[in-house]
Amino acid sequence: MNHTLSILLQNEAGALVRVAGLFAARGYNIDTLTVGPTHDPSVSRLVLTVQCDEAGLGRIMQQTRKLVDVLQVAHPAAALAA
């Protein structure tokens, strides 16, 4: 199913490429993607939607958390449901 993830990452050269590259390398296609600054200019917020099952979602979120530039990975729908 379709999931929306919200990711905070350090606004550094190559950080967006690394997130996008991770999804591609692990076989997930990003359907939509929005990136913008936060109140802290050194931090960007990235919102993306991706098609995958629950197990795959857990795995890709854990892998995203391993990227050094990533500050936080959230799945707002799951947080609401909880």
Partner 1 sequence: MNAPALQAETTTDRHPLAGQHMSGAEVIVQVLADEGVGVLFGYSGGAILPVYDAVFRYNALHPRADGGEPMPLIVPANEQGAGFMAAGYARASGKVGVAIVTSGPGATNMVTPVRDSMADSIPLVVICGQVGTAAIGSDAFQEAPISNIMGACAKHVFLVTDAAQLEATMRTAFTLARSGRPGPVVVDVPKDVQNAALAWRGSGELALAGYRARLRAVEQSALGDAECAAFFAALMQARRPLIYAGGGVIAAEAAAALRVFVDAFGLPVTTTLMGLGGFDSTDPLALHLLGMHGTAYANYAVEDCDFVLALGARFDDRVAGVPDKFAPRAKFIAQVDIDPAEIGKVKRVDWHHIGPLTRALERLTAYGRAHGIAPKLAAWHAHVAELKRTHAMDYDRASALIQPHAVIEALNRHTQGRAIISTGVGQHQMWAAQYFDFRAPRHWLTSGSMGTMGFGLPAAIGAQFAHPGKLVIDIDGDASIRMNIGELETVTTYGLPLKVVVLNNSGDGMVRQWQKLYFKGRFAASDKSLHTKDFVLAAQADGFAWARRLDQPAALEATVADFLAFAGPAFLEVVIDPDAGVYPMVGPGASYAQMITGDFIASRKAAAVDEGATSHMF
The residues binding partner 1 (CB under 8 A) are: 8-14, 17-18, 21, 25, 41-42, 59, 62-63, 65-66, 68-72
Residue among 9 and 50 whose Cβ is closer to partner 1: 9
Would you call 50 helix, strand, or coil by DSSP?
Answer: strand
Residue among 12 and 31 whose Cβ is closer to partner 1: 12
Tell the smallest beta-carbon distance from residue 62 to partner 1 (Å): 4
10 Å CB burial of residue 48 (0-12, 13-18, 19+) is buried
Residue among 13 and 82 whose Cβ is closer to partner 1: 13
**How far is it, in rounded angstroms, from Cα 77 to Cα 33?**
17
